[in-house]
Structure 1
Amino acid sequence: MNDASQISPLTPGDAVHPADVPTLLVKIFGKDRPGITAGLFDTLAAYGVDVVDIEQVVTRGRIVLCALVTAPQGRGVEGELRATVHSWAESIRMEAEIISGIGDNRPRGEGRSHVTVLGKPLTAESTAAIAALITGAGGNIDRIFRLAKYPVTAVEFAVSGAEPYALRSVLALEAAARGVDVAVVPAGLQRRAQRLVVMDVDSTMIQDEVIELFAAHAGCEAEVAEVTAAAMRGELDFEQSLHARVSLLAGLDVSVVDKVRAEVRLTPGARTLIRTLKRLGYQVGVVSGGFTQVTDDLKERLGLDFAAANTLEVVDGRLTGKVVGPIVDRAGKAALLRSFAAQAGVPLSQTVAIGDGANDLDMLNAAGLGVAFNAKPVVREAADTAVNVPFLDTVLYLLGITREEIEAADAPEGSQGALF
């Protein structure tokens, strides 16, 4: 870098492009303690410098504070500033490094993305492979930020210079091979503006398949499983398989609904996901090929904004083995996503859809961000991104929400740690 001491000081009225202004990169590092940032800038203030950029990171109790400031004017003033900063740093048992140069960082390339990497664990080998692929795709890693350290390690790379969708394709195969999850989201305000999240229910928001819970009470689990397998082989479409399986429930007493509701197990992290989204101002809904007898209860218990599913017909206190009303199938889920978005006043580009099966594909493709959650291979390949750890709240990291924000949103309302 050029030595700022060899550059003639600016005089009032000089018109200089910001990129040509002499600057100093002041780096302070050592054991973290309160007052370091205030102390550094109080020291610099005596020399009338302007702040161009600031970066600070604390890792395992060690701080690195970088301040990019304009070089002070006047012969010998820079040397005095250097001596004063080093003396101040030594007085608090820190180290200082000061580098002269010109201007700010080089302009970032077009095409900006947030690349979120989730691992349990996140190995150095997989991180190196992801970073190398970003570079190979023409991208530059501008910043790296840890979003969470548990239940998974989640880090976010701010990348410029690579087209987001091309970068997503490049990273997807490597992520699968390395056993990590990688999400690529275009940078911009719309990321924080995604205000509607809609998810599938069976094997996504809950750990169970509701039809199988009902079948267990009817003593026809094997028959239901056989119909499900036929549907998966393509021998039956969803509507045919739904009618075939529901017909096996004919005659069950309606009291079984309460038993099934009690047996439903939420996926780990589901409550945290919903509570955090709600406190951050998102609207949340569910769509299901299952039954309103369960989803309506989930909506009430979890404070959901929207819920839609098929409805089991009940006559004289017993299930008839039929469903009533429109069938919620693959196309129906996508239509319901659009309907929920319209009711919420949210454009589709600002929606997030989460699902695990082929029945969710139209919905995932229609959303601004489609997330395959512990999904079948065909769904993982078609979705915008995939999460393959058993914690539903990890989806929050794909939205740039940190573990600290999650914990703050989880705090009791009115407490010091609550966001709202």
Structure 2
Amino acid sequence: MDANSPTSQYASLAAHCASAFALPVARALPEQPAAVTAPWCLTVLAADIETAQLEQLAAFVSADQWRPVALDILAARADCKVVRIQLEGDIAFAAARLALLELGQSLGVELVLQAGETQRAPKLACFDMDSTLIQAEVIDELAKIAGVGDQVAEITLSAMRGELDFQQSFRKRMGLLKGFTEASLAEIAPRIPIMPGAQRLLLALRALGCKSAILSGGFTYFANYLRDNHLAVDFVHANQLEFDGGALTGNVIDPIVDGARKALLLQEIAKALDLSLDQVIAVGDGANDLPMLSLGALGIAFHAKPKVRAEAPQAIDGFGLDAALYLFGLNDRAIAALLDERT
């Protein structure tokens, strides 16, 4: 049998899991994972997972007196392995999350802890845009084209040092873009690369009956372009660009979408949809996403800076955005069926 075939990949990972945790493992990837009944779920994601890594994880879990009660393999592809472990025990989430972040880095895997009840499809998913749904920081790209890239970068660094807040830095950066033409924006929009997995994740969310929103400190011009051409998005809230004679004025139209406003918008959309916050998730990469990441059932830091990873409830680093689907109680077969993909 080909060692890279899905059957071989699954059998190998199942053997590793059974050896490390002494829990029953399905012989093949089922249509749906088992129901979650434990108070906690720990999801392991990696390009490959070996017995030694799982044994060290099992030792860590045992030392903290957490009790594994069920184990599912959610993915067993050549480039992606995902294992979900249901846990019982007195887990202090904040401390456990940081300890698992450190352990995952030492083992070369990603470890995502969440309450068992959050292993379900959300009803509302809120996303940052720049460096989350797209592979760019739009304002930085515009500044480079306008010839003020270094000046904008210095303002960004000043904000990161705490010398300016987001609103102050945003106003300063926008002032430097005065005169940038709307025609140039129209040329740039189609060239902005979509984040891997973004389209697949948003299509899956829509198929699950989940509404989605872009809550961005970037621009409605680009967020609307994404919604109209690439991404299955229901709501857009971002900063509006002010034009005069077909060019940017350099002024800012209030209110500016900063971290506090993202959190407020998430709550307002949830209320309008008659949803509780435990039916909402948020995904972002920056410090100004942390307020909204702290509100919902899941707050996923995606390809984020170390500080954001350390503070966000959950984090995904080495995979595309669609890896978030494994945190909703889905495996590869369920995802493929949802998207009508061939397996």
Structures share a fold, TM > 0.5?
yes
Rounded to whole Å, the distance in 2 between the matches of 1:186 and 1:200 is 23
The structure with the largest strand share of the pair is 1
CA gap of 1:154–1:254, structure 2 versus 1, over 3 A, is same
Match of 2:286?
A: 357
Give the match for residue 404 of structure 1: 333
Paired position in structure 2 for 1:299: 227
Which protein has greater RCO, CA pairs closer than 8 Å, 6+ apart? 2
Identity %: 36
1:303 alignment partner, SS class: coil
SS of 1:201 mapped into structure 2:
coil
How far apart in 2 are the matches of 1:125 and 1:203?
Answer: 34
Within 1, Cα distance between the matches of 2:113 and 2:25? 25
Aligned residues: 311
| Alignment partner, residue 174 of structure 2 | 246
Q: Within 2, Cα distance between the matches of 1:111 and 1:278?
A: 27
CA positional deviation for 1:409: 2.2
AA paired with 1:131? A
2:26 match? 57
Q: CA deviation at 1:193?
A: 5.1
Q: Is the 8 A contact 2:121 2:328 kept in 1?
A: no
| Deviating more after overlay: 350-359 vs 121-130 | 121-130
Structure 2 counterparts to residues 108-257 of structure 1, below 5 A: 112-150=39-77, 151-163=79-91, 165=93, 167-188=96-117, 190-192=118-120, 194-257=122-185
Q: Does structure 2 conserve the Cα–Cα contact (< 8 Å) formed by 1:137 and 1:170? A: no
The residue type paired with residue 236 of structure 1 is L
TM-score (norm 2): 0.85
Give the 3 Å change call, closer, same or farther, for CA 161–207 of structure 1 in structure 2.
same
Report the CA distance shift for 1:410/1:111 in structure 2 as closer, same or farther (over 3 A). closer
Structure 1: which 5+ runs fail to align?
Answer: 1-31, 33-54, 61-109
Partners of 2:167 and 2:25 lie apart in 1 by 56
8 Å Cα contact 1:137/1:167 also seen in 2: no
Give, in whole Å, the separation in 2 of the partners of 1:375 and 1:277: 22
Q: Does 1:321 align with 2:250?
A: yes
Q: Deviations over 1:3-36 (max 9, x none)?
A: xxxxxxxxxxxxxxxxxxxxxxxxxxxxx9xxxx
RMSD: 2.2
Higher helix proportion: 2
Question: Quick one: distance in 1 between partners of 2:165 and 2:51?
Answer: 45
Work out whether residues 164 and 185 of structure 1, in 8 Å CA contact, stay in contact via their aligned partners in 2.
Answer: no
Q: Which amino acid aligns with 1:120?
A: A
Counterparts of residues 74-85 of structure 1 (less than 5 Å): none
Asked whether 1:378 is paired with 2:289, we answer: no
* Aligned match of 1:46: none
Question: How many angstroms apart in 2 are the aligned matches of 1:329 and 1:144?
Answer: 40
Select the structure of larger CA radius of gyration.
Answer: 1
Secondary structure class of the residue paired with 2:194: coil
Q: Conserved in 2, the CA contact under 8 Å of 1:148 and 1:403?
A: yes
CA distance in 1, matches of 2:84, 2:140: 39
Gaps of 5+ in 2: 1-6, 8-23, 30-36
Change (3 A) 1:111 1:199: same
> Mean alpha-carbon deviation: is it higher for 337-346 or for 306-315?
337-346
